[in-house]
Structure 1
Amino acid sequence: MSRTAAAAHRHERRISPVFLAILAVMGVGGWAVWTGFAASAGFSVFVFVSAAWIVSLCLHEYAHARTALHSGDLTVGAKGYLTLNPMAYTHAVLSVVLPLLFVIMGGIGLPGGAVFIERHRIRGRWRHSLISAAGPLTNVLFAVVCTAPFWLDALDGVPLTFRYALAFLAMLQLTAALLNLLPVPGLDGYGVVEPWLSDRLRRKIEPVAPYGFFVVIALLFVPAVGGAFFDGMDALLQSLGVRPFDRACGWELYRFWDGAPGICEGS
């Protein structure tokens, strides 16, 4: 490999300053939540959870790209997908603003921008499925880290506000993972099963594929469906040691602008 090629190779994989800045905001936000530095605990939770959520979006898309790289698509580096820069994933609005808006509006973790994989370079159905599964599995890993203090019974000394923030962040990661693993066109779950479908069936699904994501979103805002979904999330979180009260308090603190009575702040 020539020096020029080696330099380009390193540049393609250099962590973006944008991602490092978001990581720094997450760290400062987490410190503020832990120490109670800010006058408003809710504002600190908002900064910490929002930054951590964007970090997880970057890691989600990076996992897709990195798996594709090792599966045969060597073009992902030149596209900026290995830099963890959220602006490199399709569009800033789709990558960051829209997923953050869903969190603010309904406390739902939904996938953001996407990486475009040149699938014709990938050989083998298992590799195609693994590329699609890599993103949601990153959210699962993130959720495991967030819930570790709960299921390890290691909460002694952890401030309540930080505990609530972790619980809410864990719920976002689990919703992102489970929703994205649904075998619905437009979501990663469909990408997992698509390589195993017949060409005839894929052609039938293709015309409706762009609408699958929006159908899932619409269903979540139906009270009966959304209620059942969040009840299931609470049950899953409880199995990991996270009480529904912890998650609810994290959500209440996150929406600091609501001016709610504050049954959680300082409790």
Structure 2
Amino acid sequence: MFTLDLPELLARAIALLLGFGVHEAAHAWAAYRLGDDTAKRAGRLTLNPLAHLDPLGALMALFAMFGWAKPVPVNPLRLRFGPRTGLALVSVAGPASNLLVAGLVALPWRLGLIHNAPEVVLLLVWVIVAMNVGLALFNLIPLAPLDGHSVLNGILEPRLAERVQALQVYGPMILLGLLMLGRISPSLDILGRTLYPAAIATMRFMFGL
């Protein structure tokens, strides 16, 4: 039976607002710094999470640990370094910002400053770090529409990148299929068996465990 107590629900909500807000603002900031003000003109160059949240995606993230925010509008043709490299830099800014948030939030624990803090504080710290690490790693999966797809396109040589780009239409279906496999059986959970160890290793490093 599904249960979620109030402190954990509130911790998830705070982590979600912080994680999605920073992630999407980082995309907008990177695009702006690279010469495209589309996101800025759309009011997305802000840390205010309400500017970035998709209601259904936020609820899914809160209760099902899988969700999404509103995509930041970007015009790749206006980006410095060209569309492929520019879009790769804009895309990697999102996951990088989540890892930065996770590292900063984990730092007081790593330095031994909050070991005796109230349990609710420790819960909040753990959830913020876990959700931001998870958000970063999940978005780095090289399947459209995730950030990892654009990052991969940006680092591949042009002809190979064109072939990968042509397959992007299948990305959402492949991603959905992988997610469904994980729901059917743990033994089929390819994403979980890949991302979970990576997330645990990243969190252990950040917490100094």
Above 0.5 in TM-score?
yes
* 1:185 Cα deviation after fit: 1.8
Amino acid at match of 1:153: G
Percent identity for Structure 1 against Structure 2: 24
> How far does residue 189 in structure 1 lie from its aligned partner after superposition?
0.8
Cα distance change of structure 1 residues 178 and 140 upon mapping to structure 2, 3 Å threshold: same
RMSD after superposition: 2.7
Runs in 1 of length 4+ with deviation above 6 angstroms? none
Say whether 1:166 aligns with 2:129. no
Q: Which amino acid aligns with 1:113?
A: K
Unmatched 5+ stretches in structure 2: none
Whose radius of gyration is greater, 1 or 2? 1
Does structure 1 conserve the Cα–Cα contact (< 8 Å) formed by 2:27 and 2:91? yes
TM-score using structure 1 length: 0.63
Tell me whether 1:193 sits opposite 2:152 in the alignment.
yes
Equivalent in the alignment of 1:207: 169
C-alpha distance in structure 2 between counterparts of 1:227 and 1:69, whole Å: 34
Superposed displacement of residue 162, structure 1: 1.4
> 1:29-68 alignment to 2 at 5 Å?
42-68=5-31
Equivalents in 2 of 1:80, 1:230: separation in Å? 34
* Contact 1:147/1:241 (8 A) holds in 2: yes
Counterpart check, 1:83 vs 2:46? yes
Deviation at 1:191, TM superposition (A): 1.0
- Report the CA distance between 1:81 and its aligned residue: 0.9
- The answer to which of 230-239 and 57-66 deviates more is 230-239
User: What residue in structure 1 maps to residue 85 of structure 2?
Assistant: 126
Q: Distance in 2 between matches of 1:227 and 1:84?
A: 30
**How many angstroms does 1:85 deviate by?**
4.6
2 CA distance for matches of 1:171 and 1:110? 15
Q: Do the aligned partners of 2:60 and 2:66 also contact (CA within 8 Å) in 1?
A: no
Q: Which amino acid aligns with 1:208?
A: Y
